Amino acid sequence: IASPVALDILPLKLHPFSQSTPTGLDCVGWKRRISVPVIADGALDKTALTDDVGSEEDLYEDFRSSNHRYGHPGGGGEQLAINELISDGSVVYAEALWDHVTMDDQELGFKAGDVIEVMDATNKEWWWGRILDSEGWFPASFVRLRVNQDEPMEDYPLKVEGGKEDDSRRFGMGQTTKDQMRTNVINEIISTERDYIKHLKDICEGYIKQCRKRADMFTEEQLKTIFGNIEDIYRCQKKFVKALEKKFNKDHPHLSEVGSCFLEYQTEFQIYSEYCNNHPNACMELSRLTKVNKYVYFFEACRLLQKMIDISLDGFLLTPVQKICKYPLQLAELLKYTNPQHRDFKDVEAALNAMKNVARLINERKRRLENIDKIAQWQSSIEDWEGEDVLVRSSELIYSGELAKISHPQAKSQQRMFFLFDHQLVCCKKDLLRRDILYYKSRINMDDMEILDVEDGKDKDFNISVKNAFKLHCRDTEEVHLFCAKKPEQKQRWLKAFENERRQVQLDQETGFSITEVQKKQAMLNASKQHHAGKPKAVTRPYYDFLMRQKHPTLPTTLPQQQVFMLAEPKRKPSNFWQNISRLTPFRK
């Protein structure tokens, strides 16, 4: 017998420090309660989704007919289990994944790796915890529950005088205890991998499959934007989990040798780079679509039909990003409980380094993609541009500065601004009256050039005296370009920059880094729109703000300072793009 099940449509923002009174609520809006026919075993009645029955308005009539809200504010099974443990008097520890920097005295600040005692997890988004004598609220998404809850707090990690870890206590525990710790970590790796496969399957079959049936609602381009290459990830992960299960020793889990699996799949895990780079676009597209009620109802119906847990689509789409972050953490914990004599020790150690490298590669690719918009904006500010766009061949500004360029046949010296990108060196001229305007003059293909250091004195090729000079020599045409810097240190910086340019090109070839034609065109289109607007575009963080708004609804009112893509290591080296060109006047208009 079908019975109605109520669905939450829009969560209220409730501050943890306030009471459940009108003054303690920041009401975002109210929706009517809605009902969806559900058969007794919990599956959605498929007739409610059939395209042939009635119009689209009829399809969503049941959803519109009542007045509840969307998205349960309550937690899932894991949260209930945590609260049961706490209420039974057990101590529950969580490990920080990212730094949580806060100026609010009611929030708990910590660094990645800190261990927090969880004292209250009744709110899904913000938990109450303690570190030493400090207590406060902290975002639940910033931590993971420790696998080995029975490990003493003081051993995590244990420090002695001089700041070194006390190996005697840390590794002096009985072999059985350490084996049990390793068993716990192995079991967590296997179980979370199986759960993850289930999530990927639900996304592919529960959402993508249903969306493709509705050509009237979604184009293929939209689906590519929303879901990225998640189907490729699903296929890869299915093979990976099979490899893990083959290495899993059911009778003695601590003897399992899983390190080799990560080493085998380290290259294939690089497909996460494309997904992570696209994820901001997915969030933006979802944000746009869910402003229309029929998309909200459709996505919720897909979730119920697939019997998926109560997480919104944007939450499911975040799981691959979180997963690639988690591998180095799991492997670090596995290595901690693996004896050096264990057959798996060397492979786990190598796997940890490999997965850290994968994480770094993804971070680097994301940074490069962020740079292409800035490069497109730079090009749009240059007057009289000729030839192909910079982005056709380049994606990174290596160095820039002013040099004297000496040309044949009169050996005439000209002051020019030079911008060294991967594959090319762009030459510009400053306006005589308005020094904040640059005119395009020429470019040099760096792939054909070799760098020659020139000693101070008379140059035989140009028959002039030079100082702080170097040459670019074309191997194919024997063409030579002579440049002079004002100071010796400037010359050395340029020589170093040319080395870095060749190194960057080689690294891109080895890792297969490339920018799609769609990304290049979109960057140039955005820059063109901005240029015609006549004023610089404000620097915003819509993706970051969207994500934080979804995960942390004003509990507390200040947003935690998280960077989603600081994968295994929270402190990422900042991009030097703007440092390289911030001193240039075109950007001061």
Query: Which domains does the chain show, CATH number per domain?
Result: 76-145 (2.30.30.40), 178-371 (1.20.900.10), 387-526 (2.30.29.30)
Assign 568 a pLDDT band (cuts: 50, 70, 90). very low
With cut-offs at 50, 70 and 90, classify the pLDDT of residue 14.
very low
Q: Return the top range by mean pLDDT from 135-144, 475-484, 490-499.
A: 490-499
Would you say residue 423 has pLDDT above 60?
A: yes
Residue 246 has pLDDT above 90, yes or no: yes
pLDDT-based confidence at residue 294 (cuts at 50, 70, 90): very high
- The answer on pLDDT for 577 being more than 50 is no
Structure tokens belonging to residue 438: 């640059």
Q: Which of 108, 110, 114, 74 is nearest to 94 (CA)?
A: 114
Q: Is the peptide bond before 157 cis (omega within 30 degrees of 0)?
A: yes
Q: Is residue 579 over pLDDT 60?
A: no
Could you read off the pLDDT of 365-384 as tens digits, one per residue? Answer: 888 888 888 999 999 999 99
What H or E segment, with its residue span, contains residue 299? helix 293-305
The reported pLDDT for the residue numbered 558 is 41
Confidence of residue 281 (pLDDT cuts 50, 70, 90): confident
In this predicted structure, what is the pLDDT of residue 37?
33
Residue-wise pLDDT for 491-526, tens only, equals 999 999 999 999 999 988 887 777 878 788 888 888
Q: Which of 399, 402, 405 is nearest to 422 (CA)?
A: 399
Q: How many residues would you count in the chain? A: 589
Work out the pLDDT band at 213, boundaries 50, 70, 90. Answer: very high
User: Which element (helix H / strand E) includes 38?
Assistant: strand 34-38
**Confidence at residue 534, expressed as pLDDT on a 0 to 100 scale:** 52
Span 94-123, average pLDDT? 82
Query: Percent of the chain beyond pLDDT 70?
Result: 71
Q: What is the pLDDT of residue 77?
A: 55
In whole angstroms, give the CA distance from residue 285 to residue 278: 11
Q: Do 376 and 524 form a contact (C-beta atoms < 8 A)?
A: yes
Average confidence (pLDDT) over 384-391: 94
Paired strand residues for 115: 95
Cα 125 to Cα 550: distance, rounded to the nearest angstrom: 10
Six-digit token string for 275 = 């997904």
Give the C-alpha separation, 224 to 282, whole Å: 9
Instruction: Check pLDDT > 50 for residue 529.
Output: yes
Mean pLDDT of 273-286: 87
DSSP 575: P
In this structure, what are the phi and psi dihedrals at residue 307, rounded to the nearest 5 degrees?
55, 45
Structure-block tokens of residue 103: 């100026």
Question: In sequence order, which residues have a C-beta less than 8 Å from that of residue 146 and are 6 or more positions away?
Answer: 93, 94, 95, 115, 156
201-210: average pLDDT:
94
75, pLDDT greater than 50: no
- Confidence band for 62, pLDDT divided at 50, 70 and 90: very low
Say if residue 466's pLDDT is above 80.
yes
pTM of the model: 0.55
Q: How far apart (Å, rounded) are the C-alpha atoms in residues 450 and 131?
A: 57
